[in-house]
């Protein structure tokens, strides 16, 4: 599967952005999907994951209540709605696809190219 992330940009603290991840192929629904992010000088970090049919969703503590992950299997697309953004959310956001509902970077086999989110204070 090939993944294409989009929707990043510059936003003021307290603002919102919606990221999208478009997948190629007809097997999108067979993958667990997730968002990760990487800030300058830091390791790539798990942000959110969603199970094959969207029944299970999990988030890193720092984004709970602010971010919402969703998927549309008919459209082969995953989303990340980000509200109440903070400067510490600034990072490159990557979408990823894997076969197991896990949250570690090495559990995901396919990655998008990343989209930059910058939150100004």
41-71 per-position pLDDT tens digit:
999 999 999 999 999 999 999 999 999 999 9
Q: What is the pLDDT of residue 25?
A: 78
Q: Going by C-beta distance under 8 Å and a sequence separation of 6 or more, which residues neighbour residue 32? A: 49, 50, 51, 52, 97, 98, 99, 100, 101, 102
Task: Write out residues in the chain with pLDDT < 70, as ranges.
Answer: none
pLDDT at 85: 98
**Residue 12 phi/psi, 5° resolution?**
-80, 155
């Amino acid at each position: 599967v090939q993944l294409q992330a989009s929707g990043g940009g510059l936003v003021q603290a307290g603002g919102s952005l919606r990221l999208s991840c478009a997948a190629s192929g007809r097997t999108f629904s067979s993958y667990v999907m997730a968002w990760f992010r990487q800030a300058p000088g830091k390791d790539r970090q798990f942000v959110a994951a969603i199970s094959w049919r969207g029944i299970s969703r999990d988030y890193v503590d720092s984004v709970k209540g602010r971010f919402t992950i969703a998927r549309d299997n008919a459209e082969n697309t995953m989303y990340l709605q980000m509200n109440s953004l903070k400067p510490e959310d600034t990072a490159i956001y990557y979408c990823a696809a894997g076969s197991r509902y896990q949250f570690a970077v090495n559990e995901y086999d396919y990655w998008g190219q990343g989209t930059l989110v910058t939150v100004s204070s």
